[in-house]
């Protein structure tokens, strides 16, 4: 979002941009690029860099990023995983508890999957064309009776 006028500039928007290679910044041999674009409403200059590590970009000047739910969720999952690993290192009983929780969760998932498969099997045996044909025949019969 542009800091000057508040215009939303979407990620997929096409622009004529000026591109330059950022000096002394490389990620695994990939060069990092800086792009200069103009806001569509107020023509203020906005700059951002590519971020190949996260397959994203980082804002530098002239605009702000909107709320990023996916990125926050990933960070939260990493933090929770790290906490769990640290807890397991210190407490052997916690390792056992986590294993039992994981196995229970896996069993529940397998049961739910089996139920869904059975449900799909039951629905696969239903012939919708025959049902529609039968319904049409009943409607025609009712019309005939009404006309008589």
Tokens encoding 110: 């397998």
Residue 67 reports pLDDT greater than 80: no
Residue 111 reports pLDDT greater than 90: yes
61 with 72, same domain: the answer is: no
| Residue positions counted in the chain | 148
User: For 23-44, what is the mean pLDDT?
Assistant: 89
* CB within 8 Å of 21: residues ≥ 6 apart: 31, 32, 33, 34
DSSP string, the chain: -BTTT-----TT-----EEEEEEEEEETTEEEEEEEEE-TTT--EEEEEEETTTTEEEEEESB-----HHHHHHHHHHHHHHHHHHHHHH-HHHHHHHHHHHHHHHHHHHHHHHHHHHHHHHHHT--HHHHHHHHHHHHHHHHHHHH-
130 with 104, same domain: the answer is: yes
Q: What confidence score (pLDDT) does residue 58 get?
A: 86
Kindly report the average pLDDT of the chain as a whole number: 87
Which of 47, 65, 83 is the C-terminal boundary of a domain?
65
Binned at pLDDT 50, 70 and 90, residue 69 comes out as low
Q: What confidence score (pLDDT) does residue 20 get?
A: 93
pTM above 0.95, yes or no: no
143 with 72, same domain: the answer is: yes
85 with 35, same domain: the answer is: no
More confidently predicted of 14 and 113: 113
53 domain-assigned: yes
31 with 77, same domain: the answer is: no
C-alpha 46/C-alpha 138 separation (Å) is 67
Please write the tens of the pLDDT for every residue from 52-61: 888 888 888 8
Q: What confidence score (pLDDT) does residue 144 get?
A: 94
Domain span holding position 38: 16-65
* CB within 8 Å of 44: residues ≥ 6 apart: 2, 3, 4, 5, 38, 62
Residue 11 reports pLDDT greater than 80: no
């Amino acid at each position: 979002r542009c800091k000057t006028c508040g215009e939303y500039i979407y990620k997929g928007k096409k622009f004529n941009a000026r591109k330059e290679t950022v000096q002394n910044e490389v990620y695994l041999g990939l060069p990092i690029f800086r792009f200069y674009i103009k806001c569509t409403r107020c023509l203020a200059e906005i700059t951002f860099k590519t971020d190949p590590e996260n397959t994203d970009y980082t804002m530098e000047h002239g605009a702000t990023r909107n709320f990023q739910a996916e990125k926050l969720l990933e960070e939260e999952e990493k933090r929770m995983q790290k906490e769990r690993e640290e807890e397991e290192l210190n407490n052997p009983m916690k390792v056992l508890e986590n294993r039992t929780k994981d196995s229970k969760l896996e069993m529940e998932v397998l049961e739910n999957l089996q139920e869904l498969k059975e449900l799909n099997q039951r629905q696969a045996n239903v012939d919708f064309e025959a049902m529609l044909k039968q319904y049409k025949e009943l409607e025609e019969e009712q019309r005939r009776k009404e006309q008589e």
